[in-house]
Amino acid sequence: MMTPLPDMTTLFDQLGLDSSQDAIEAFFRHNHLDQGDDVSEADFLSFEQRLTLARMRDDDAEWAELVDTMESLLHKNN
């Protein structure tokens, strides 16, 4: 059986964040990264969340793509 690819909702669930559509939109509206900053070092995330993102990026290609998307969206909101 194939498992579905992770999406932003499942990423937020994995990070222990509210994964409702409204909460995800609010997260990107209120949090920003400067160009060149890495999401795994974002000060608006807990140590555990940053560590999880770093591990996802290093260990799992499917999650890594989603982490990159999250980072890109946080850069766009600058």
Question: In terms of C-beta density within 10 A (0-12 exposed, 13-18 middle, 19 or more buried), how is residue 37 classed?
Answer: middle
- Give pLDDT tens digits for 39-63: 999 999 999 999 999 999 998 878 9
Question: In terms of C-beta density within 10 A (0-12 exposed, 13-18 middle, 19 or more buried), how is residue 35 classed?
Answer: exposed
- Cα–Cα distance for residue pair 38/42, rounded to 1 Å: 7
Q: What is the mean pLDDT of residues 65-70?
A: 94
**CATH 3.40.640.10, domain 8-76, yes or no:** no
Domain ranges of the chain: 8-76
Contact 14, 70 (CB under 8 A): no
Of 13, 22, 17, 5, the C-alpha closest to 44 is 17
Specify the pTM.
Answer: 0.88
- Give pLDDT tens digits for 15-35: 999 999 999 999 999 999 998
